[in-house]
Structures are given as C-alpha cells and as structure tokens.
Structure 1
Amino acid sequence: MRYGLFLIAFLAIANLYAQDKPNYRIFDKKGNPATFEDLLKDSRKSDIIFFGELHNNPIAHWLQYELTASLHSTIKGDLALGAEMFEADNQLLLDEYLSGTIKEKTFEEEARVWNNYATDYKPLVEFAKANNLSFTATNIPRRYASLVFKGGFESLDDLQEAAKSYVAPLPVKYDASLPGYQKMVEMMGGHGGGSDNFPKAQAIKDATMAYFISENLPEKGVFIHYNGSYHSDNYEGIVWYLQNDYAPKAKITTITTVEQSDLSAIDEEHAGKADFTIVVIDTMTKTY
C-alpha cells in the first residue's frame, strides 16, 4: 500500500515537472550545466565581473539584480557597480542622485538614461542608492564615439582637456585583427570608406569603459559591470583592454547571454564565449 502511494506521489510530481516551461539554463565555459550558485561562487573570487546582456532580455536583467544582491550580502570587501548605459560626463549627476543631492526626476531627465531604464537599469541604481554603493558611468559620451566613427581616432586629438577627461587616455591601443572588430568591418561591406572607423568607434567605447573600470576598482572587493554581451564576449572588447593595458593582473569573470530554441546544451556558435553562458529560451518576451 505504501509503495502504491509513493508511486502515485512520484508520478504526480513527475507530471508536474513535465508541464514546467524552463526559461533559462546556465552553462560553464566547457559547456557543462552550471547553477546560479556556481556563478556566484566564481564571481566572489573575482576582481571584475562582466555581466554581458542582451539589452531587451528580462532574464538577463533579473539575474543581474540577483547576482548583485547576492554578492553584496556575501563578499568580503566592497562591491562597486558600473555600466555601459551611463556615459562618463554624467558621473556627477549619478553621484548627486545616489547621495540624495538631486531628485529622481532631475537625474532621469538630465542623465540621458536609456529608454528601458525604468524596467532594466533603475533597479540596479536604486540598489546602489539604498546600500550606499558606488556606481561608475563607464561609457564614452556618444558624441565622441560619433566623432571616431566619422573621422577615426585622430578626430579626438583636438578636443579640449575637459572633454578628454571623459575618454580613455589618448592614444589608445587598437588591434584591428581582433575577430570581433573584423566582423564589424565585414558588416560594413569590407575595407575602405567608413568601414574601418566602425570598429574604431567600438574600440574607443571598449577602451574607455576599461579605463574607468580600472580607475574605480575597490581596493578590496568586486567590481561588477553591466554591458551588452558584444563588449566582453570571447574575452575581447573591454576585457582585452583591461588585460593588455589597464588592469593586467585583475581576475576577471565573464558572463554572456544568448537565446536558443533548445535549452539542453549550448549551440556551437555560442561555445566558449564566456566563463558562464546564460541560455534563454528564444520565445522569452522582451522589455522593449
């Protein structure tokens, strides 16, 4: 009788799980299944964490918040936050809001926040505010990235010194052979014309973000950075600049987000992109 009851209960539970609709899975660098706890454990040992997102993916944004909150409650030392979504010339506004000097409405109106700020990044800013954490605006002002897109790195040379303070120290290193930058040239139809400046505009963003991350690393603790996955995938972009220039000794953990129709394994095209890959079902709703 007991066995019969156990079997009925087991089948009921199995049927319940069979009806579940899992929406994401985590895998490690080798493609083995991993857990959020594995990701957290590795992150706690790092100096810098790159959480590469798909900008409109709600699972990525939720896990960014969960990882940030979990790190804050478990690491020894300080937790510092930073994001691509804030440009360096808005650092003062961000600091003033976090310190309570200016109101929320003023900050959001003047800081050129992204259209999806309210749903996707505001929770992180509010977490920093509530817990007295630093938050670095790491990205180059878009007007200067636009200059590079139009005229190459040399277009920045004549900027005033105040303007240059929002950009990585010039001249920046640049490796045009990096696969990520090569793909950008291909996207623009090959060499010539403005195609060579397209990856340079990306590189000046990567270099600037790497520079401001290195300048704001806690003496003891962890810096977590939120960015589009293409800025840190395959250990290129921001990671390359840190490893080759600004913080070569820093221990870095990278996370990327991809979408697939099958959650059972990482598709070959995504293999090895990062230390951890969050695979989200491709039917997941978007934040915009």
Structure 2
Amino acid sequence: MKTLILALGFATLASGCAASHSARMAHEPMERPASQYDARLVDPATGQALSVQALATRLADTDIVIIGEHHGHHASHLLQARLQQALWRLNPRQVLTMEQFNLDHQPALDDYLAGHTGETEMREDANAWDNYRASYRPLVEFAKQHSLPVIAANAPANTVRCIGRLGPDYLERLDADERRQLPDAPFLDTPAYKDKFVEAIGGSHGTKDDELSGLMLNTYKAQLLRDNTMAARILEARERHPDHQVIHLTGTFHSEDRLGTVAVLEKRAPDLTIAVISPVNWPADADSPPLEKHRERGDYLYFIQPLPQEFRDDERRREAMTERFSRSPEASCD
C-alpha cells in the first residue's frame, strides 16, 4: 500500500510539474527571430508560442492548409518545408499545390516527378521561378521522394498578363481547351479584397474612389484570375485525391485575412476546413511581438525578421507594385 501511495504521489507530482511547465512556456516572453532563417509560430487567439510539431498536431485533420509566404524569405520557405514533413508524418495522404507553377506547365512538372527529366530540364520547361532551387526545391523533392502529387496551381502567365493589358474580355479569345482549364467564374471577389488591393497598389498616391477603372481595374481582374484559378486547382486536387490533405504554398497577399484564394475557396466549398498560416514582420526596434494589430491575418501566425527595405522612394514603390501585380513574360495577346 505504501508503494502504491508513493507511486501515486510521484505521478501526481510529475503531472503537476508538466502542467506547470506547459503553463510557464505559454506565458514566457517570445524571443525575436535571431536571423532571416528563424520563424516564431504563435496562436493569435491566445498568444501561445507553438512548435512546428504542435501546430502540425492541431492541423492533422484540416482539409486545406495554406502557408502564406513572403516570396524569397528564407524563414517562410524553411517553415513550409518543416511543416510539410510534420503533417506528412501524421497523414501521408498529402498533396502539394503551388502558386509558383502555372497550370499550363503541369506536364513538365509531372515528367520530372516521374523521373523522365532532370531538374534543370524541369525548371526550363516549367518556367520555374528564379528562386526555385533556394526556396522550393526541398518541398518538391520531399513530394517526389514520397510519391506525392504536386499541382501547378497558378493561372497561365500570358493569360494573366493579357487580362492586365486588355481586360477580362480577353478570355473570349482563348480556344476551348485553354478556357476549359480556367474556373467557370474566374473573377469572384470580395469588397475587402478590393480595398486591400487598392491600398497595396496605390497607397497615398493611388485612387481613393470606390470603383477601380482602366488599367488599375484590369490589373485587379488579373489578380482575381490568379486567386480563382488557385482555388479551382486546389478543389480539383481534392476531387482527384479524396481524403488527402492539401498543403498550398502562396504569397501571403493571396491568403492573409482569409481573403483572396481563401475567400474563393470558402464560397465554392464552404464545407471544407481551411487553416491559414501567415507571416508577420517583427521589427528590430520592437521588444515584444507585434501581435495585437495582426491577430486577424491568419488562424496561426509566424513572426519573422523583415526583409531588407526594397524602396525608399514612394513613386518607385508604386510603379514596382503595379508591375508586380501584372508581371508575366512578354508574349502576344493577339
């Protein structure tokens, strides 16, 4: 009996210590990311810091996990790779969908995954982004090693560019096969997303009108085509691979605040569960994480060091943002 009492006592003590440790960890101040590789995950509802494994456990039964990124930020891409692997260990039925490949290059991506071509051939044939090897290679290679589907989710670059130049009526010029690859309703929208777009493009120098017009409107429609195409490709992946979890990689503009691609998904498939993970910059002069004003950016956040400032000239920044939203290779719109 004495042995049993002692055992119960030790068990209670151990349980109490574990609970105390967990509570202490939840309230300990979070450290600022030490380098451009570091990300600090947090639950914005509670302010609790999370490990990658703890987040994966929470997301194990989620249908679609969208990991927003700052393009080219090492911390974003390292977190994506680690979370991809952690989720796969909990559920190996996984599909990777990527903004970084356009849907018309799916055959080139499939050839590489099947071992028919080499990486350089794939990058050339699929018009991979310049930072593919530094940012996305680990994720694609993990999928390839485990025979996981990888879906090119973005709209064809030339179609996006021509809509940005000529407007949404350009879709009528596409042949039947090209149009069939795009969503039936390619410009689904939400008012909040339009406001966000106007602010990003124009800032203090842009339009303050409620309605967009001219080139700005066309550029916005091109942006909507990207969001709607990614949403459609994600849903197609779910149909082709039932019971698989979709991991979607995208620039955070397409997903934060549950706008863009996320809003389209919620309209098209309201029964699916979607988790959004969004980056938040932690400025060098901030002693504590900037949580309060960013809580709504995602279901989960990760703090990262800001990238070096791109522009100090506001006019050059505005011009660059306009170009960025409508960017794609030169080609004919005839």
TM-score (norm 1): 0.85
**Structure whose alpha-carbon radius of gyration is higher:** 2
| Distance (Å, rounded) in 2 between the aligned partners of 1:197 and 1:283 | 29
Q: Corresponding residue for 1:11?
A: none
Q: Corresponding residue for 1:13?
A: none
| Distance (Å, rounded) in 1 between the aligned partners of 2:84 and 2:236 | 20
The 10-residue stretch of structure 1 (194-203 or 266-275) with the greater mean CA deviation from structure 2: 266-275
| Distance (Å, rounded) in 1 between the aligned partners of 2:282 and 2:46 | 14
The 10-residue stretch of structure 1 (153-162 or 36-45) with the greater mean CA deviation from structure 2: 36-45
> Which deviations, in whole Å up to 9, do the C-alpha atoms of 1:254-286 show, x marking residues without a partner?
001121123732344422110111011237899
Q: Corresponding residue for 2:277?
A: 255
> How does 1:47-196 map onto structure 2 within 5 Å?
47-75=63-91, 78-169=93-184, 171-175=185-189, 177=191, 179-186=192-199, 187-188=201-202, 189-190=206-207, 191-196=212-217
Number of residues paired by the alignment? 265
> Which deviations, in whole Å up to 9, do the C-alpha atoms of 1:194-242 show, x marking residues without a partner?
1122221111100000001000113113100000011001111111111
Partner amino acid, structure 1, of 2:295: A
1:42 Cα deviation after fit: 2.2
- Structure with greater helix percent: 2
> How does 1:208-247 map onto structure 2 within 5 Å?
208-217=229-238, 218-245=241-268, 247=269
> Which deviations, in whole Å up to 9, do the C-alpha atoms of 1:137-171 show, x marking residues without a partner?
000011111122122222112210121133222x4
- The share of aligned pairs that are identical, in percent, is 30
TM-score (norm 2): 0.74
Inter-CA distance 146–78: structure 2 relative to 1 (3 Å threshold): same
Bigger relative contact order, structure 1 or 2 (CA pairs below 8 A, ≥6 apart): 1
Q: Secondary structure at the match of 1:52?
A: strand
Q: CA RMSD in A?
A: 2.4
Q: Secondary structure at the match of 1:55?
A: coil
| Distance (Å, rounded) in 1 between the aligned partners of 2:221 and 2:190 | 8
1:180 Cα deviation after fit: 2.6
Report if the CA contact (8 A) 1:61-1:120 is conserved: yes
Q: Corresponding residue for 2:13?
A: none
Partner amino acid, structure 2, of 1:251: T
Q: Corresponding residue for 2:221?
A: 200
Report if the CA contact (8 A) 2:182-2:229 is conserved: yes
Q: Secondary structure at the match of 1:194?
A: helix
Partner amino acid, structure 1, of 2:263: W
| Distance (Å, rounded) in 1 between the aligned partners of 2:144 and 2:172 | 36
Structure 2 unmatched runs, 5+: 1-30, 311-334
| Distance (Å, rounded) in 1 between the aligned partners of 2:106 and 2:307 | 36
Structure 1 unmatched runs, 5+: 1-17
